[in-house]
Each structure stands twice: as structure tokens, then as C-alpha cells.
Amino acid sequence: MKFFLDTANLDAIRRAVELGMCDGVTTNPTLIAQEMKKHDHLISEIAKIVKGPISVEGDTDTCDGIVKEAKIFKTWAPNVVVKVPMTHEGLKAVRILEKEGIHTNVTLIFSPSQALLAAKAGASYVSPFVGRLDDVSEDGMQLVRDILQIYRNYGFKTQVIVASIRNPNHVVEAAKAGADIATVPADVFAKMWNHPLTDKGLDLFLEDWKKVPKPAPKGGKGKGK
């Protein structure tokens, strides 16, 4: 499974890339606004760090508007993927953009039927929002499993990006389901390698290490100096 980082923060992206744990990035207007930088400049800077797909989202809701924005976004970096809303107009734009070689990520997926339509339209990626479904007492991960089953049944090449991840368990469940990608917020990513028993074990080892007799340093007692 690939890891995308769901952030526009350059420092967080660099740290993940240094670990070899960042296969791509997803952004949205909220994440961009948090960085207080011009949209095009920020995406260009991200593209200097990340070689994988970078999802970029605009603010138009008509087919013509989405297509026009997408072509602008694509000039910012060659690895830009255009986020498209799961709407009638959005699906029309997906068909046009994919035929022109511009990859799309259909976002705000909340049902299997939406994911099926996006794949039929030719989307490169779909983003089911598991956390938001959990928030309203629905099973977000079941949506992921349903989408994967449908795609496997018919050989769709559309990749599933598990989005709206709230905790490390979401990432684990996405991996167990066989999702192609999990897009992980920086704070959740940082929690994935933490465990209180790991910390406790390390502290114990360090305390025991202090009790181990150490060899005398060279040039110290016993060396005739």
C-alpha cells in the first residue's frame, strides 16, 4: 500500500520523504489556506520534494470550470492530479480530462454507487472519506471494502485512496482491506510508530544497560599510564 501525506506543509512532507514513507501528497483548499502561501507557488514547492502524484483542488463546480482550472493546475507541476467533486458536472469533467491525459481524483465519495460511476467515467483515483462516515455512525471502512470488491469484479483500474483518516487504525484497516493508497494527515502519520510498550521497553533496556560493566577506556588504568 502506498502512503500519501494529506497536508500542504513543506516541513512535514520533507520529513516523510526523508523516511521514504511519502509516495504522494493530497491537498485541498483548507490545507492550502493553512500555509498562507500562493496556491501555485506552494504546489510547485511540493513538487520539488515529491515525485509522486500531488492532488490539487479548485473551487469551481461546472464541467467547463473544472476543465479550465485543471489545465492551469497541470502547468504548475507535471505530477499534478486534479481533484474533482463527485457530482454530475464533475463526472463530465473526468471523462474530458482523462481523455486529454490529465489524471483525476474524484473526491467526497460516500457510497459504492458513487465510486462505481467515477470508475466508469475513467477516474484515475477515487477518495472515499471514511472518517466522515464514522462521524455519522456509518462504517467508513465497509465502504472501502465494497468499492474494492466492485473494482475487482470488473477489473477497473481506478485506484482507491482511503481519505479522511482519523487514526492509525484507519490505516491498518485500509491495508487489511487491500486499498491501493492511504492518505494520512501528518499528525496521524507521527502516531503510527508510537506505542507505550515500545517506549517502556526502550526505557527498561537503557536502565539495564547502565548496569552492564563497561571496559576501561584505552589509556586508562591497567595500561601503565
CA–CA distance, 73 with 156 (Å, rounded to integer)? 26
Residues 6+ apart with CB under 8 A from 219: 225
Closest CA to 123 of 76, 88, 154, 84: 84
Query: Is there a catalytic annotation at residue 214?
Result: no
CA–CA distance, 146 with 163 (Å, rounded to integer)? 15
Q: Which of 68, 83, 99, 200 is catalytic?
A: 83
CA–CA distance, 85 with 210 (Å, rounded to integer)? 58
Is the CB of residue 52 less than 8 Å from the CB of residue 78?
A: no
Cα dihedral sign, 37-56-128-64: positive
CA–CA distance, 21 with 25 (Å, rounded to integer)? 11
Is the CB of residue 163 less than 8 Å from the CB of residue 130?
A: yes
CA–CA distance, 215 with 209 (Å, rounded to integer)? 13
CA–CA distance, 101 with 118 (Å, rounded to integer)? 16
Which three-class secondary structure state does DSSP give residue 200? Answer: helix
Active-site annotation, residues? 83
